[in-house]
Chain A
Amino acid sequence: MIKMKDVVKVYDNGITAVNGISVHIEQGEFVYVVGPSGAGKSTFIKMMYREEIPSSGKIEVTGYDVPQLKHNEIPYLRRQVGVVFQDFKLLPNLTVYENIAYAMEVLEKSPKQIQNRVMEVLSLVGLKHKARMKPAELSGGEQQRVSIARAIANMPRVLIADEPTGNLDPETSWEIMELLEQINAQGTTIIMATHNKSIVNEMRHRVIVIENGRISRDDKEGGYDFEA
Chain B
Amino acid sequence: MTLKLRTLSKHISDSVRNIVRNSWMSFAAVSAVSITLLLVGGMLALLFNVNKFATDIEQDVSVRVYIDLTTDQEQRDELQAEIQKLETVESVDFSSRDEELENVISGYGDSFDLIDEDENPLYDVFVVSTKEPKDTKETAKQIDEMPYVARVSYGDAKADRVFKVTKGIRNVGGVIIGALIFTAIFLISNTIRITIYSRGTEIEIMKLVGATNWYIRWPFIIEGALIGLFGAIVPVLIVWIGYYGAYNNITPFLSGSIYSLLSPNPFLWELTALMVGMGVMIGSLGSALSIRRFLNV
Contact = CB atoms under 8 A, between A and B. Distances in A.
B235 to A, nearest CB: 36
A102 B215 contact: no
A91 B213 contact: no
Nearest to A72: B213
A57 interface: no
Contact of A78 (B4, B202, B208, B296): B208
Contacts of A169: none
A91 B158 CA distance: 69
Interface residues of A, number: 24
A228 interface: no
Interface residues of B, number: 18
B205 A89 contact: yes
Contacts of B205: 89, 91, 102-103, 106, 150
B211 A71 contact: no
A83 interface: yes
B145 interface: no
A143 interface: no
Given A89-B201, A91-B202, A103 B209 contact: yes
B209 A72 contact: no
B10 A72 contact: no
B160 interface: no
A107 B202 contact: no
A111 to B, nearest CB: 8
A106 B204 contact: no
B22 to A, nearest CB: 16
A106 B211 contact: yes
Given A89-B201, A89-B204, A91-B201, A107 B213 contact: no
Contacts of A153: 209
Contacts, number: 51
A89 B203 CA distance: 11
Interface in B1-39: 4, 6-7, 10
Interface in A70-119: 71-72, 74-79, 82-83, 89, 91, 102-103, 105-108, 111
A75 B6 CA distance: 20
B212 interface: yes
A154 interface: yes
B210 interface: yes
Contact of A108 (B204, B215, B296): B215
Contact of B208 (A72, A83, A105): A83
B134 interface: no
Contact of A75 (B4, B204, B213): B213
**Residue from B4, B6, B202, B211 whose CB has the most chain A CB atoms within 10 Å:** B211
A154 B7 contact: no
Contacts of A151: 209
Contacts of B296: 71
Given A89-B204, A91-B202, A108-B4, A78 B213 contact: no
B148 to A, nearest CB: 74
B204 A154 contact: no
A154 B201 contact: no
Interface of A: 49, 71-72, 74-79, 82-83, 89, 91, 102-103, 105-108, 111, 150-151, 153-154
8 contacts: A75-B210, A75-B212, A78-B210, A83-B208, A91-B202, A105-B10, A108-B4, A154-B209
Interface of B: 4, 6-7, 10, 201-202, 204-213, 215, 296
Closest 3 A/B residue pairs (Cβ): A78-B210, A79-B210, A106-B211
